Amino acid sequence: MNDKIQHLLDEIRKASALNADEVEQIRLKFLSKKGLISVLFDEFKTVPAEKKREVGLLLNDLKSKAQERIDELKARFDGVEEKAAAGLDLTRPVVNSQPGTRHPLSVVRNQIIDIFARIGFTVAEGPEIEDDWHNFGALNFAADHPARDMQDTFFISTNPEILLRTHTSSVQIRTMEESSPPLRMIFPGRVFRNEAISARAHCIFHQVEGLYIARNVSFADLKQTLLYFAKEMFGEQTQIRLRPSYFPFTEPSGEMDVSCLICGGKGCNICKYSGWVEILGCGMVNPAVLENCGIDPDEYTGFAFGMGIERITMLKYQIKDLRLFFENDVRFLKQFTGAL
Ligand code: DAH
C-alpha cells in the first residue's frame, strides 16, 4: 500500500498539461470517483487495524497534494482562452520595458532632505493655497509694505485674502503656530509667482525652507549649517560667502553665494565672471515673527533659510534652461537614470 501511495505521489508531482482539457484529464485520472486515489481509499478498508493510522495519514496527504497540483495547473490556463479570443497571444516574448527615471527636481529635493536629515532636520509640508497671514502678515510684511512687491502674487479674484503661496516660508509660520521649540525642520514644496516664463524664471517652481528655533541659536550656527550643506551638495572644495540683504522675516538677513562650481572661482559665463553664484536667502528669525507665532523671543532665537530647487539643480547638472524641467521630454529626463 505504501509503495502504491509513493508511486502515485511521484506521478502527480510530474504531471503536466498543455491546456485546460489536459488538466481535466489529470483530475479524472486521480481524483474522480473511479480515479486512482479513490481506488486506494477503497483498498484502505483492507489495511490491518494497527497500520490504519500510518497509512491513513499518507493517503490523506496524497489526496491533498494531488488537489494542490491540479489547482496549480488549472490556474495556469485560467482565462487563457478568453485572452486568445480577444487577440492576446500570451506566448509572445516579453518586450523589454524601459524603467522610469526620477525627475531631476525630485532627485535634488531628496538629496537636500537627506543632507539635512543627517544633522537632525525633519521634514514637514504645508498647503499651496494659503491665506495672506501665513504667506505675508505673520512673516512681518506690513499690509502696504513695498517688500510685497518682491513676490508678484497670484490672488484668488473673489477673495484677496487667499492666494497661491509665493514661498515656503509660510510653512515656518504654520509649524511655529502648531508646535513649540526646539524646532529643526525643512519644508520642501511648490510655490507660485506671476512671472513671465523664460530660461531663468517660471510661474511655478520649488523651494526648500529651513528653520531652527531653540535657546541660544546664533548666526555662527546658521553659517556653519549652510557651509556644511554647500560642501555636501556641491563638493568638499566649495566655499561660501554671505552678503547682507533684506527680508522682513529675518534680522539680520543675508544671501549666500557658493564658489562657482564650473570655473572654481576663476570666472565664467555661469557666474558672470564673478566667481560666485547666489543660491539662497537666510537670516536670524525676526523677533516679531516669533511673537506672531506665540514664541517668546526673550527665551528663544533661531535662523531660517530658503532656496530654489530649480536653481540648485541647474547648477549641479549645468542645465541652462529652466523650462526643460516642465516639458517632460524623455530625452532630457532619462539622463537622470541611476540618480538617487
Ligand atoms: N522666502 C524667500 C524667498 O522666497 C527666501 C528666504 C529668504 C527664506 C530668507 C528664508 C530666509 O527663510 O531667511 O525669496
Ligand 1 neighbourhood includes 189 CB (under 6 angstroms):
no
Q: What is the pLDDT, as a whole number, of residue 339?
A: 57
50, burial (CB in 10 Å: exposed 0-12, middle 13-18, buried 19+): exposed
| Region of poorest pLDDT, from 96-105, 170-179, 214-223, 326-335 | 96-105
pLDDT at 147 over 80: no
* Each residue's pLDDT tens digit, 210-264: 999 999 999 999 999 999 999 999 999 999 999 999 999 999 999 999 999 888 8
Q: What is the pLDDT, as a whole number, of residue 338?
A: 61
Q: What is the pLDDT, as a whole number, of residue 85?
A: 78
Q: Which atom of ligand 1 is nearest to the CA of 209?
A: 12
Tell me if 257 sits within 8 A of 240, measured CB to CB: yes
Q: Which atom of ligand 1 is nearest to the CA of 166?
A: 4
Q: How far is the CA of 285 from the centre of ligand 1 (A)?
A: 11
Select the more confidently predicted residue: 16 or 213.
213
Ligand 1: residue of 282, 303, 309 to mutate (most ligand atoms within 8 A of CB) is 282
Residue 254: strand pairing partners: 244, 282
User: In the predicted model, what is the mean pLDDT of the chain?
Assistant: 92
- Residue 157 contacts by C-beta under 8 Å, 6 or more apart in sequence? none
Q: How far is the CA of 209 from the centre of ligand 1 (A)?
A: 7
| Region of poorest pLDDT, from 136-145, 219-228, 281-290 | 136-145
Q: Which atom of ligand 1 is nearest to the CA of 308?
A: 4
Select the more confidently predicted residue: 191 or 2.
191
| Region of poorest pLDDT, from 195-199, 279-283, 305-309 | 195-199
Q: What is the pLDDT, as a whole number, of residue 287?
A: 98
Q: How far is the CA of 250 from the centre of ligand 1 (A)?
A: 8
The mean pLDDT of 170-184, rounded to a whole number, is: 97
Q: How far is CA 262 from the centre of its chain?
A: 29
Q: What is the pLDDT, as a whole number, of residue 1?
A: 84
Q: What is the pLDDT, as a whole number, of residue 80?
A: 76
d(CA 154, CA 148) in angstroms, rounded, equals 12
Select the more confidently predicted residue: 116 or 46.
116
Q: What is the pLDDT, as a whole number, of residue 236?
A: 96
Domains, the chain: 2-85 (no CATH), 104-336 (3.30.930.10)
- Residue 29 contacts by C-beta under 8 Å, 6 or more apart in sequence? 35, 36
Q: What is the pLDDT, as a whole number, of residue 286?
A: 98
Q: What is the pLDDT, as a whole number, of residue 75?
A: 87
Question: CA-CA-CA-CA torsion for 19, 21, 24, 26, nearest 10 degrees?
Answer: -60
pLDDT at 340 over 60: no
d(CA 217, CA 32) in angstroms, rounded, equals 81
How does residue 329 score in pLDDT terms, banded at 50, 70 and 90? very high
Tell me if 108 sits within 8 A of 329, measured CB to CB: no
Question: CA-CA-CA-CA torsion for 213, 307, 133, 294, nearest 10 degrees?
Answer: 0
Percent of the chain with pLDDT over 90: 67
Largest CA distance in the chain: 103
How does residue 104 score in pLDDT terms, banded at 50, 70 and 90? very high
pLDDT at 95 over 90: no
Q: What is the pLDDT, as a whole number, of residue 89?
A: 79
The mean pLDDT of 67-76, rounded to a whole number, is: 90
Nearest Cα residue to atom 13 of ligand 1 = 282
